[in-house]
Each structure stands twice: as C-alpha cells, then as structure tokens.
Amino acid sequence: MTVPLGGIPLADHAAVYAALDRAGFTDVWSAEVNGADAFTPLALAAAWQPRLRLGTAITPAFTRGPGLLAMSAAALADAAPGRFALGIGASSPVVVGDWNAVPYTEPFRRTRDVLRFLRAALAGETVDGAYDTFTVRRFTLERPPATPPPVLLAALRPGMLRLAAAEADGVILNWLAADDVPRALGATGQRRPGFEVVARIFVCPTEDAAHARALGRRLITSYLTVPAYAEFHRWLGREEVFGPMWRAWAAGDRRGAGAAVPDEVVDALVLHGSPERCRDQVARYADAGVDVPVLALLPTPELAAGGATELSALIDRLGPARVAAPGGGGELR
C-alpha cells in the first residue's frame, strides 16, 4: 500500500499500519511529491509494525544532496534492518525545478550517477571523485547499515529500464496497465536473480463508475500530459488514443482534454469496482511479471461517508489475506 493515506494525520497512522498488517499486506511504500516526505511515514511504520517491509517510490535524485540521501537511507535501514528498499528516480521539472529550486538538467545521467554513488556509499565505501553531474569529496557514512538496502530505479522508457536492469536491484513502474507490463519488462532483457519489479497501481474501490472515471480522468490529464509520461505512453503505443487529449491540453482546453480520454483507457489505468474486483485486477499485474504491486488508494464516496470504520473494512477486503487480528479489535481510530 502507498502511505500515508489521504485524510489521516501521520500521528494516527499506527492504526492504519496495524490494519494493513492484519489484512495481509506485506509492504508499505511512500511517495514524495508535495505531501509527506518519503522517509517520515516509513520511520513511523518501522517503529509501529516490525513485520512490514518499507520502500520509497520514489525519492527524487535531485532534491537531496547525494550525501544526505545516503544518510537518510542508511538511517532507515538501521531502524528496519533487512526491511527497507530505497527507490530513486528522476522525478519531474515541476517537483525539482519549480518547487525545490534545483535545475532539472540531464535527468538520466543525474539519476545514474546518484544510483552509482548510493551503491558505493551504502556499502560503507569512501566516495571520492567526480561523476558526470556532480563531484563528491571523501564522503563516508559514519553509520553504514549492517544490511545495505537494495536500490531500485524508477523507469519508464528503454534507456532507464536498461539502466535499472544493468545496475539497480530492481525497477519501479508507474502509470501503466497490466497489459503494458510485458513491453516494459521486455526492455530490461533477461532478469537477474533477485531483481525485483515494483509497480504503483491506482485503485478506486467503488462501484460508482462515474465517480471513479471522473477522478481517473483528472489524474490522467494531470500526469500523462507531463512530457516524460507522454513519451512513455507514446512508446507504449497510445499516440492515437491520447493524441486528442494532448492537443486539447496544449491549447489550454482542460475540460476538453479530460473528455477526450476514452472510458476503456481510464478503466485500464485506474482500477475500480468492488474491493474484490480491484484485487482481482491487481492480480493481473502479478501474472504479467510484477513482484510487488503497490496500491495507491484513491478517495471514494463510501470512504467519505463511512470514515474510519469504512476504511478498516476496505483495507480488509483489499488485503491479499484475511488474517484474524491478534488480541481482537482493529478498528481504525
């Protein structure tokens, strides 16, 4: 599950993590855009639920200096030995440049260089030298993790997918349909033993299809008009289906851009229906080669009306296994 969940203060997430654990969820993965940072929700999960695996999906390669990123990752790996995976990626010009005042230049090379730096630094090595996009002078982690975390790379198109396959411990996919997974993984070539495939999957567990599709269209027009995602979907073969949306968006017609997205495309990219139907649709990603399907839970009319009780029941119905809660109870508060 992607954490933190919307509308719930971080201080109240102990009950969320407990409910996820009881329902059979194995992992919690954070995102980092303009809400919580990537590490704080996971640090809380490390303390509150010692069985959950933790991951960042993703931490931008630009917004922290290389040394600080290594320290943050090492601290979480120290707090949750063997349970943390660090996902990094290029992020976007808006997040990096507009919001963090860092020039968004050469994203492929910057991400590659940060990946190489992290692999060395987290292994306890002293890093001293020039990369293509930055220079580090004699950096050594004071507290290198006893178990260095795997480093995964967010990737969309062939260049980054090949880099992930060659140098990372896994790949993180985003904004693709289950039927797109084989094409994405085909660009990675032969998978090495232990190479992990993670995918974030947007899920709106409601039988109110109009609500789910309206929300899905807003998300699609917000994300898939960003140049990197637009090129990704061109590569996936959606030039014809998304062309009208891209043209309307470029002309400033936001309403027309949303209206141009066909229902079947929304349904493929934003899963909806009953929680059980959503779970079955997520299983298609696993069948296609995804090792860790990470749900990104979207708001529904039922959640808005039902509050904590509805959320607790929903997590249970979405979970991969229905496990009796030790000691009883378990309602989210």
Cross-strand pairs, 84 = 54
Query: What integer pLDDT is reported at residue 295 of this predicted model?
Result: 98
The single residue listed with the structure tokens 């309307």 is 248
Q: Quick check: bond before 4 cis, omega within 30?
A: yes
Query: What integer pLDDT is reported at residue 225 of this predicted model?
Result: 96
Predicted confidence (pLDDT) at residue 333 exceeds the cutoff of 60: no
pLDDT, tens digit, for every residue of 25-75? 999 999 999 999 999 999 999 999 999 999 999 999 999 999 999 999 999
The single residue listed with the structure tokens 């997520």 is 282
- Which stretch of DSSP H or E encloses residue 218? helix 209-223
**pLDDT-based confidence at residue 16 (cuts at 50, 70, 90):** very high
Structure tokens at 251: 């002309």
Query: What integer pLDDT is reported at residue 245 of this predicted model?
Result: 98
Residue type, 266: V
pLDDT, tens digit, for every residue of 143-181? 999 999 999 999 999 999 999 999 999 999 999 999 999
**pLDDT-based confidence at residue 307 (cuts at 50, 70, 90):** confident
Average pLDDT over residues 212-228: 97
> Would you call 306 exposed, middle or buried from its count of C-beta atoms within 10 A (0-12, 13-18, 19+)?
middle
Query: What integer pLDDT is reported at residue 40 of this predicted model?
Result: 98
Query: What integer pLDDT is reported at residue 321 of this predicted model?
Result: 60
Q: What are phi and psi of 109, to 5 degrees?
A: -70, -35
Predicted confidence (pLDDT) at residue 133 exceeds the cutoff of 50: yes
Predicted confidence (pLDDT) at residue 325 exceeds the cutoff of 80: no
Query: What integer pLDDT is reported at residue 332 of this predicted model?
Result: 36
Query: What integer pLDDT is reported at residue 320 of this predicted model?
Result: 81
pLDDT, tens digit, for every residue of 86-106? 999 999 999 999 999 999 999
Half-sphere exposure of 39 (CA within 13 A, CB side): 18
Helices (H), 10-82: 13-22, 40-48, 66-79
Residue type, 117: F
Query: What integer pLDDT is reported at residue 48 of this predicted model?
Result: 97
Cross-strand pairs, 202 = 270, 296
Query: What integer pLDDT is reported at residue 308 of this predicted model?
Result: 83
Q: Which residues contact 60 (CB under 8 A, 6 or more apart)?
A: 32, 88, 89, 90, 91, 95, 96, 100
Q: How many residues does the chain have?
A: 333
Predicted confidence (pLDDT) at residue 220 exceeds the cutoff of 60: yes
CA distances from 298 to 5, 82, 200, 204, 302 (A): 9, 30, 12, 5, 11
Predicted confidence (pLDDT) at residue 327 exceeds the cutoff of 80: no
Average pLDDT over residues 182-195: 94
Q: Which residues contact 196 (CB under 8 A, 6 or more apart)?
A: 85, 150, 152, 169, 170, 171, 291, 292
Rounded mean pLDDT of the chain? 94
Give one DSSP letter per residue of 129-166, joined into a string. Answer: EE-SS-EEEEE--SS--SSPPPEEEE--SHHHHHHHHH
**pLDDT-based confidence at residue 81 (cuts at 50, 70, 90):** very high
Average pLDDT over residues 10-21: 96
